[in-house]
Amino acid sequence: MTMAHSWTQINLDSLAWNHRLITSRISPKAQLLAVVKANAYGHGMIPVARHLFELGVRWFGVANVQEGRHLREVLPQASILVLGCILTDDVPVLFEHDLVPTVSSLDFAAELNARAERRNMRKAVHLKVDTGMGRLGISTGSLEEFLSQISFFDHIRVEGLMSHFSSSAEDDLAISPAPSRLYENTVRRAEAAGLPLQWVHLANSSGIFRLPQSHYNLVRCGLFLYGLYPEAGYRFNFGLKPVLEWKAKVGHVKEFQAGQTISYGRTHAVTRATRIAVIPVGYADGYNRRLSNRGRVLIRGEFAPVVGRVTMDHIMVDVGHIAGVCGGDEAVLIGRQGQPVIRAEDMAQWLETISYEVVCAIGPRVERRVVPIGVARLDRE
Ligand SMILES: *Cc1c(COP(=O)(O)O)cnc(C)c1O
């Protein structure tokens, strides 16, 4: 057996905690759709989705048919909505694996209709309207035209209508109610056109907490299930627990004299005699190169700064101020060690990005370890 150089720990207790917290906040009429695209935001789609299914979640959101097919293998009973673009070539996969597509164009609807007709069935779809996101979705201006055309497609059953916020996390509270009202209007127009909508949905994580009127009867939640806020200092903190920790083993530690330089480009020169720990994680694992001379890790419960450039497979950290650091010590890249903690939101701030990108970037070389329910709790007591 070999040792993992770097691994994430996925804590199912925290996932269950977040799920409970979120479901206690959503309208009693609404169900939760768990968004598990992008390998469950880097957490590992299969263990996360399986556990959420055990907790009673029946709707799951993926980005594309490849993710949908993969999820279908382990959750034969779940409803799986494909949120992103679907290429015409991938349409057969929707039928083979019973995936629900998001429809934003008549061409795509026509393709689905033709396929469904050949199979002598009606394909359930969710229509998406664009209420200001400017990405996928039917423009609200061409909605009536769209609805009258789609009514000719006998092999399509429109069971859902959805839209997506462009600014749910932004501080400007004035932005979100506008799409919400526009959407309300869209729902009425669709119903007036005779569509019996079974599912009406708009809210993502931030929308769930900030705009209760956006819950309708389904909410699509990703980030908050993972216990993350969009960025450091997000002003609605309501006790979510981060599900993911990212750790690595110290490779080796060596003595440096004043003036010696570290890593490519010699961007860091030590100013005093110190010790430097080499940690086998690099940008190939998703430890962003912009953390060069900027990131921090935890070793023996203390912060140690990343010195010099992040390389493909290694980073170097200054541990001159921490007694006794040696090869094999655990280094925490994201997570807690004693009291000090590094949150994904902190790393996002160092990188001038959002927590979503930080966790999604954790690469396939990083082993995913799942901490089963109950174990972490015992650990801490
Ligand atoms: C990714 C995604 C979500 C989830 O958003 P969070 O902010 O992570 O909750 C919801 N809806 C759509 C259409 C998405 O693509």
In DSSP notation, 360-380 reads: HT--TTSEEEEE-TTHHHHHH
Among the atoms of ligand 1, which is closest to the Cα of residue 41? 8
Asked whether 359 and 42 are in contact (CB, 8 A), the reply is yes
pLDDT per residue as tens digits for the range 85-131: 999 999 999 999 999 999 999 999 999 999 999 999 999 999 999 88
Q: Is the pLDDT of residue 378 over 70?
A: no
Residue 380 reports pLDDT greater than 60: no
pLDDT of residue 2: 73
Q: How far is the CA of 226 from the centre of ligand 1 (A)?
A: 12
Tell me what pLDDT residue 184 has: 84
Residue closest via CA to ligand 1's atom 6 equals 222
Residue 172: the pLDDT is 52
Task: Say if CB 287 and CB 248 are below 8 A apart.
Answer: no
Q: Which residues contact 311 (CB under 8 A, 6 or more apart)?
A: 263, 264, 282, 283
> In Å, what is the CA distance from 96 to each residue of 119, 167, 237?
11, 36, 42
Q: Which atom of ligand 1 is nearest to the CA of 356?
A: 8
What tens digit of pLDDT does each residue of 297-355 get? Answer: 999 999 999 999 999 999 999 999 999 999 999 999 999 999 999 999 999 999 999 99
Which pLDDT tens digit goes with each residue over 181-191? 888 888 888 88
What angle do the packed helices 45-54 and 65-74 form, to 10 degrees?
50
Q: Both tokens of residue 331?
A: 């280094």
Task: List active site positions.
Answer: 37, 264
Report residues whose beta carbon is within 6 angstroms of any ligand 1 atom.
35, 37, 83, 164, 204-205, 220-223
Which residue in the block uniquely carries the two structure tokens 């206690």? 24
Taking each helix axis as running N to C, give the angle between helix 177-192 and helix 143-150, from 0 to 180 degrees, rounded to the nearest 10. 40
SS3 93: helix
Confidence of residue 132 (pLDDT cuts 50, 70, 90): confident
- In tens, the pLDDT along 9-60 reads 999 999 999 999 999 999 999 999 999 999 999 999 999 999 999 999 999 9
Nearest-10 crossing angle of helices 143-150, 106-118 = 10
Sign of CA dihedral 226, 229, 230, 232: negative
What is d(CA 188, CA 29) in angstroms, rounded to the nearest whole number? 18
Share of the chain above pLDDT 90, in %: 76
User: Could you tell me the CA-to-CA distances from 214 to 35, 221, 284 in Å, in that order?
Assistant: 17, 13, 40
Ligand 1 atom with the shortest distance to the CA of 205: 9
Tell me which of 367 and 230 has the higher pLDDT.
Answer: 367
* pLDDT for residue 366: 97
pLDDT of residue 381: 42
Q: Name the pLDDT band for 210 (thresholds 50, 70, 90).
A: confident
Q: Contacts by 213-218 with C-beta closer than 8 Å and gap 24+?
A: 213/180, 214/165, 214/176, 214/180, 214/183, 215/26, 215/27, 215/29, 215/30, 216/27, 216/29, 216/30, 216/187, 217/27, 217/29, 217/30, 217/31, 218/30, 218/31, 218/32, 218/33, 218/59, 218/160
The predicted pLDDT at position 135 comes to: 87
Give me ligand 1 centre to Cα 311, in Å.
32
Asked which of 193-197, 222-226, 260-264, 330-334 is least confident by mean pLDDT, the reply is 193-197
Strand partners, 367: 7
Ligand 1 pocket test, pick from 22, 202, 220 with the greatest ligand atom count within 8 Å of Cβ, gives 220
Is-contact 319 275, C-beta < 8 A? yes
> 304, 226, 234, 289: which is closest to 8 by C-alpha?
226
**Over 80: is that where the pLDDT of 180 sits?**
no
In terms of Cα–Cα distance, which of 107, 166, 102 is closest to 131? Answer: 166
Residue type, 356: Y
User: CA–CA separation, 309 vs 50, rounded Å?
Assistant: 39
Is 140 a residue whose pLDDT tops 70? yes
Beta bridge partners of 221: 34
Q: What is the 3-state secondary structure (H, E, C) of 311-363?
A: CCCCEEEECCCCCCCCCCCEEEEEEECCCCEECHHHHHHHCCCCHHHHHHCCC
